[in-house]
Amino acid sequence: MFSSRIPRRLEPNRLTRAICRARIEKRPLVDLTTSNPTSVGLRYPEDLLMALARPAAAIYEPDPRGLESARAAVAGDYARRGLTVASSRIVLTASTSEAYSILFTLLCAPAGDAVLVPAPSYPLFDHLTALDGVEPRPYRLEYHGRWTLDEASVDAAWTDNVRAVLAVSPNNPTGSVLSETELEWLSERCGARDAALIVDEVFADYEFGGAVGRKASAAPSLTFRLGGLSKSAGLPQVKLGWIAVEGPDELVSQALERLDLICDTYLSVSTPVQVAAPELIARGADVRAQILARVRGNYDALRTMAEADPAVEVLHADGGWSAVMRVPSTRSEEDLAIDLLDHAGVLVHPGFFFDFPREAFLVMSLLPEPETFADGVRRVLGRIHG
């Protein structure tokens, strides 16, 4: 009875069931899907989380936007990236996922309004929009040696009930970074059509060739930047994200006033993590540097290993924690992923998981330890031809 009410896109697919069986049977697997930085051999200072136990954490002084000291630390982190954001325009959340839900509540009426979402991209958007009663309408990223925004698909997907456009830069899993020109085009479209632009920048610190992301500018549309400690400091367990609000002053003021009401209703961000935020953001730089070195090294190693097989291609990426490899389309991606799981003991994501428009693509995490990553890639390359 209950399962009949679950949307089909939230039901487990055949690959998901195969993975569950493998884990129940406790088979040894090389996991090339991991997104957990705390499980891949990085060096975390033993006292890193001691800041959560500061005496100030025992004092409850709720603020809908979050403690000023924490918001000032986030503003300082934006300044490190060359962006000027006032702490008064920052709203703290328990996670980026919660930030999306808050913004959907702010911008959309359930069971009626829609948001545009990039494709390929992470399937989290399917779940979040479904849970919030918002319609996701995809627009395309196209690959021609590099990923670019398909502007025609944005216009084709737009309807009168679109309230926001979601952009992810660097994108997960393509690793593509939207150019300033592309982001300005999206902002202008949103401004002209009374919609907001939501820019997910959680991977902004992990660009392979240096910073190429968007700098501060006078956004013509109401714009929300998303970030958090999960990626920027490799700390998914402490649960702190944020929203930075940009755009015309009147729209920003109205949005912040309504965000105050929404966030005051839940007050979901714990006091200890807010008190600790300045230190966690500052000391997270070492972990961030380790992650950047790891993903750059594994991406270079993947490209080198793939060069030996002319039938495969590692797609160009600008950054992020994932890499995409095009492989021969001799069977479905799901069949290939299950075969790799059952016969090579390696776990990868198939391209359809991220809404790639055609087959066959495999998506691999760049986080595993280098020896583990290289072993997994060798297993994949040794099996893809059947």
- Give the residue among 201, 254, 227 at the shortest CA–CA distance from 70: 227
Read off the pLDDT of residues 7-58 as tens digits, 9 standing for 90 and up: 444 456 788 888 888 778 878 899 999 999 999 999 999 999 999 999 999 9
Q: Which run of H or of E encompasses 329?
A: none
What percentage of the chain has pLDDT greater than the value 90?
Answer: 87
What percentage of the chain has pLDDT greater than the value 70?
Answer: 94
pLDDT for residue 22 = 74
What is the arithmetic mean of pLDDT over 116-127?
94
Q: pLDDT confidence of 3, banded at 50, 70, 90?
A: very low
Integer CA distances (angstroms), 366 to 35, 112, 375, in order: 9, 38, 13
Q: Three-class SS string for 116-144?
A: EEEECCCCHHHHHHHHCCCEEEEEEEEEC
CB 335 within 8 A of CB 5: no
Q: Please name every residue paired with 114 in a beta bridge, in sequence order, or none if there are none.
A: 135, 162
Integer CA distances (angstroms), 356 to 293, 366, 371, in order: 28, 19, 29
- Give the residue among 211, 172, 199, 374 at the shortest CA–CA distance from 292: 211
Q: Is the pLDDT of residue 218 over 80?
A: no
Contacts 24+ apart (CB under 8 A), 308-316: 308/381, 309/381, 311/384, 311/385, 312/381, 312/384, 315/143, 315/147, 315/174, 315/175, 315/361, 316/145, 316/146, 316/147, 316/175
pLDDT for residue 16 = 82
Residue type at position 316: H
pLDDT for residue 15 = 83
Q: Which run of H or of E encompasses 308?
A: none
Integer CA distances (angstroms), 281 to 34, 69, 291, in order: 23, 12, 15
Q: Is the pLDDT of residue 184 over 60?
A: yes
CB 319 within 8 A of CB 203: yes
Residue of 215 and 247 predicted with greater confidence: 247
- Fold entry, domain 54-283: Aspartate Aminotransferase; domain 2 (3.40.640)
Structure tokens at 101: 């839900």
Going by their DSSP bridges, the two strands 114-119 and 162-168 should be labelled as parallel
Read off the pLDDT of residues 240-275 as tens digits, 9 standing for 90 and up: 999 999 999 999 999 999 999 999 999 999 999 999
Q: Is the pLDDT of residue 168 over 80?
A: yes
Q: Is the pLDDT of residue 120 over 80?
A: yes
What CATH class is the domain 9-43+285-383?
alpha beta
pTM here is 0.93
pLDDT for residue 211 = 52
Read off the pLDDT of residues 93-112 as tens digits, 9 standing for 90 and up: 999 999 999 999 999 998 88
Integer CA distances (angstroms), 306 to 108, 300, 318, 386, in order: 44, 10, 18, 17
The residue extents of the domains of the chain are 9-43+285-383, 54-283
Please, what is the average pLDDT of the chain? Answer: 93
- Give the residue among 78, 72, 52, 92 at the shortest CA–CA distance from 256: 92
Q: How far apart are CA 154 and CA 11, in angstroms?
A: 28
Read off the pLDDT of residues 318-362 as tens digits, 9 standing for 90 and up: 999 999 999 999 999 999 999 999 999 999 999 999 999 999 999
Q: Which run of H or of E encompasses 44?
A: none
What is the arithmetic mean of pLDDT over 287-312?
97
- CB count in 10 Å sphere of residue 212: 15
